[in-house]
Structure 1
Amino acid sequence: MLFNTFTFFVFFVIVFFVYWFLLKKNRIYQNILLLIASYIFYGWWDWRFLSLIVISTIVDFAIGKLIFSTTDKKRRKALLMVSLLVNLGFLGFFKYYNFFIENWIQAWETLGVSINLSSLNIILPVGISFYTFQTLSYTIDIYRKKIKPTNSVLSFATFVAFFPQLVAGPIERAQHLLPQFLSKRKFSYKHAMSGVHIFIWGLFKKVVIADTCATYVNVIFENYETMSSLSLVLGAVYFAFQIYGDFSGYSDMAIGLARMLGFDLMQNFRYPYFARDIAEFWRRWHISLTTWFRDYLYIPLGGSRTTKMLQIRNVFIIFLVSGFWHGANWTFIAWGFLNALYFLPLLLLKKNRINRDDITMNSFKNWINTTFKIFITFSITSLAWVFFRANDIQHAFGYLKRMLSELSLNIQFLSIERYAIELIGILVLFVVIEWFHKKSEHPFVGKYYMAKITFVLFLIITLGVFSSHEDFIYFQF
């Protein structure tokens, strides 16, 4: 059930009406409704995988209470390992089993040895990487004595399965979201309308920016052998906008939907393409995942408070694991490795934390300097995205080789479908809108906000891609 479909619209209207108008006086009944709605929402794809969410919920709820109730260090660690093995076991089997089997076979075949193993026809459960990390953070935080376990299995189950952010985040922490299920919610018109505004902006990013770019990205990447350098450069740039519009659009819609129901989710994107270096980019992109890896992997490894060699090791571990988290393909590992290489000079020169302030343009020199840094960061990020989009590692290198060698300014790509020059105009408009509202959650603030909403709704209706209902990219992760 996609956010940008009529089916979901009907589903959410029913949930919203029952939630606020029939059950507004009873938090327990509201949570029951949200849990049922969340299971329906997830089961819409494949009801069989609901069992995985239920098992993870029961296991982590029970283990959380057991860890909290004992002071024996060995028993606490053993219980935590059970949680890790169950959750990562599910994730590893469904997401990585075939990858390891196929690469194991290929490795032996290169040595002339035939291995009699076979892969399985495994369907990847939607959102398994997201809710797995969400439940793991709960047991890890209890183990670290940062939070106490909840006594309400209903609230915990609803926290795990909360449908706005279930399948593609943001990856919430129990200490932030879980207390909201334990407290009474009161309807606020202002709060709900801010959710509507965020949802509209997310919908615009998805159906106008991401799905229109996808029209060109798909053709360019699948026919790269016949494309000019300019076409391939624009293919990479279009994919950069596609994945940003797609994923940040989903996050915005999730935040907006949750807010309409009286919940606050964490901000997942902070205008990442305005970053002045790659370190700042990763502080602005998929914040819920980068902070998860920081808190549960990078810092436990020693972070940056260790020897230089271990710092380098930690950087490569964090980026390679992040790449592998995204999918069982060497392209994602290459993407992570490339981002580690981007990050390394900043770490070695101790410049990875210099751009933590707001972007200012208080002089012409500063404007030139900042614009150049943003351009360079966006360029190398777009280059790395080629690996993310490519079907396999050979596809990625073939694409990059032709992009850098077939030096032609032929613009044959502009005639393939739908909009052509208009798409570039839409992207320029999108960048301008985001630039002037980069300190706000969404553009519908300040003067003339109703005119802004009307204009964006007009663009959604006239330019939005609704016929194909493109899946969200991150559903595959």
Structure 2
Amino acid sequence: MVYLSFEWIGWMVGVTAVFWATPQPFKLMSLAIATAVFLIIYDPISCGILVLLTLITYGAARLPFTESKRLILGLTPIFILLFGYKALSKFSGNDLLTGTIIPLGLSYYTLRCAHYLIETYKGNSKQIPLLDLVAYLFFLPTIFIGPIHRQPEFSRDLRRHRWNSELFSEGIERIIYGYFKIAVLGNFLISRIFAESSDRISEDGSILAGYLLMVQIGLNLYFQFSGFSDIAIGFARLLGFRVLENFNWPYFKSNISAFWNSWHISLTSWCRDYVYGPVVAITRSPSLGSIATLIAVALWHEISIRYLLWGLYHGLGIILWQKGSQYWRRYPIENPTLRFLIKVSSIALTTHYVWFGFYLVREIQF
């Protein structure tokens, strides 16, 4: 199942039609059932795991223990499943296993379960009825690609839920926008036209060839991933829900910290809240917090040496920028032309730093 298939378009159209045709008291149930049917058809193991995690999450929040014990008992099986599957798929050495072992959407719904438990523990979110939790976790638009939307905002939309023609129209526009990014900008212009042009003007193995490949990887990754997110966000709006934005023009940011605040926002904000904050609170070191956060982002993608190095690469980049910005703030530049040139240069440097990291992840195979 891929977003560019007519099959997925059929699911979006069918689920949306059934959802709005269902009487209000049964809308949530119909959407959860549709998601369960989807998972049973395409990945029944994932459906079973999601059911299990839903029960664990719901039960852990209500155990007759202290808040900290409930949190530990809930989070432990969630992260064992997530990182156990990722480690098994990486180190199994079985090509078939490697290609199929990670259940559909596991990386996304485990973090939603953890988010709900942590927010309940912190007192920022009240315990919700089982049906509301099921609706939150069995939410088809974001089930296997994200964004990792937050439970309080989802519950707010539940309370206010009604037909909104403007939101519905926004959803259609956003879906078209996402498909344009993936099919036209990513697949056609970058993966085909740009790649063919690069092959003609550069020799294989040359520095220019490596540079053009790096640019191709960086641009295609953005168009594909942000396009997927646009489709998921648009699908959610067709159903009357607003979910968290996932990208905010990341390649136009002038420093690496701003980049990570605008790239895969739902994941980086999750890690900032639940990794960076606690690490800084314990160590009083923003630098350690940055390193830990980017390592968490990296290992969420894949448990491997290459992603560990990628996380360290970006963590060190943020630390260097933080240290440098403290110095630059002492010497403000008054000349507007010079400020503009520095701004443009900073954007170019940041973008190439990010692209080089993507290139290394692709080229390093360990």
CA–CA distance in 1 between the matches of 2:322 and 2:168? 42
Report what 2:356 is aligned to.
383
CA–CA distance in 2 between the matches of 1:121 and 1:101? 7
CA–CA distance in 1 between the matches of 2:319 and 2:88? 31
What are the within-5 Å matches in structure 2 for residues 360-371 of structure 1? 364-371=337-344
What are the within-5 Å matches in structure 2 for residues 278-297 of structure 1? 278-297=256-275
2:303 aligns to what SS in structure 1? coil
With normalisation by structure 2, the TM-score equals: 0.88
Report what 1:65 is aligned to.
62
Report what 2:317 is aligned to.
342
Q: Which has the higher helix share?
A: 2
Report what 2:7 is aligned to.
7
Structure 1 residues 214 and 335, CA gap change in structure 2 (3 angstroms): farther
Judge conservation of contact 2:150–2:244 (CA < 8 Å) in 1: no
What are the within-5 Å matches in structure 2 for residues 304-453 of structure 1? 307=284, 310-351=285-326, 364-390=337-363, 392-393=365-366
Structure 1 residues 379 and 7, CA gap change in structure 2 (3 angstroms): same
**Amino acid of the residue matched to residue 317 of structure 1?**
A
Report what 1:85 is aligned to.
76
Deviation at 1:174, TM superposition (A): 1.1
Judge conservation of contact 1:217–1:239 (CA < 8 Å) in 2: no
What are the within-5 Å matches in structure 2 for residues 27-426 of structure 1? 28-66=25-63, 75-97=66-88, 99=90, 121=97, 123-151=101-129, 153-181=130-158, 183=159, 185-212=161-188, 213-215=190-192, 226-302=204-280, 307=284, 310-351=285-326, 364-390=337-363, 392-393=365-366
Q: Structure 1: give runs of 5+ residues left out of the alignment.
A: 103-117, 355-361, 394-477
Same amino acid, percent of matched pairs: 26
Judge conservation of contact 1:346–1:352 (CA < 8 Å) in 2: no
With normalisation by structure 1, the TM-score equals: 0.69
Deviation at 1:271, TM superposition (A): 0.3
CA–CA distance in 1 between the matches of 2:251 and 2:224? 14
Deviation at 1:277, TM superposition (A): 0.5
Structure 1 residues 85 and 220, CA gap change in structure 2 (3 angstroms): farther
CA–CA distance in 1 between the matches of 2:55 and 2:317? 41
CA–CA distance in 1 between the matches of 2:345 and 2:102? 41
1:300 aligns to what SS in structure 2? helix
1:301 aligns to what SS in structure 2? helix
Structure 1 residues 43 and 233, CA gap change in structure 2 (3 angstroms): farther
**Amino acid of the residue matched to residue 208 of structure 1?**
V
CA–CA distance in 1 between the matches of 2:105 and 2:149? 13
Deviation at 1:154, TM superposition (A): 1.9
CA–CA distance in 2 between the matches of 1:219 and 1:326? 31
Deviation at 1:159, TM superposition (A): 0.7
CA–CA distance in 2 between the matches of 1:135 and 1:271? 28
**Amino acid of the residue matched to residue 371 of structure 1?**
V
Deviation at 1:385, TM superposition (A): 0.7
Judge conservation of contact 2:57–2:117 (CA < 8 Å) in 1: yes
**Amino acid of the residue matched to residue 47 of structure 2?**
L
Deviation at 1:278, TM superposition (A): 0.3
Structure 1 residues 233 and 120, CA gap change in structure 2 (3 angstroms): closer
Structure number with greater CO (CA < 8 Å, separation at least 6) is 1
Structure 1 residues 144 and 219, CA gap change in structure 2 (3 angstroms): farther
Judge conservation of contact 1:94–1:124 (CA < 8 Å) in 2: yes
Judge conservation of contact 1:334–1:387 (CA < 8 Å) in 2: no
Judge conservation of contact 2:280–2:288 (CA < 8 Å) in 1: no
The C-alpha deviation readout for 1:246-286, integer Å capped at 9, x for no partner, is 11111111111101110000111100000000011011111
Deviation at 1:65, TM superposition (A): 2.8
CA–CA distance in 1 between the matches of 2:9 and 2:74? 36
CA–CA distance in 1 between the matches of 2:322 and 2:343? 20
The C-alpha deviation readout for 1:207-235, integer Å capped at 9, x for no partner, is 122223345769999xx993322121111
Deviation at 1:87, TM superposition (A): 0.5
CA–CA distance in 1 between the matches of 2:326 and 2:113? 34
1:226 aligns to what SS in structure 2? coil
Judge conservation of contact 1:280–1:353 (CA < 8 Å) in 2: no
CA–CA distance in 1 between the matches of 2:235 and 2:327? 35
CA–CA distance in 1 between the matches of 2:177 and 2:132? 30
The C-alpha deviation readout for 1:112-169, integer Å capped at 9, x for no partner, is xxxxxx9993611122111100111101111111111112x12211211211111121
2:185 aligns to what SS in structure 1? helix
Aligned-residue CA RMSD in angstroms? 2.9
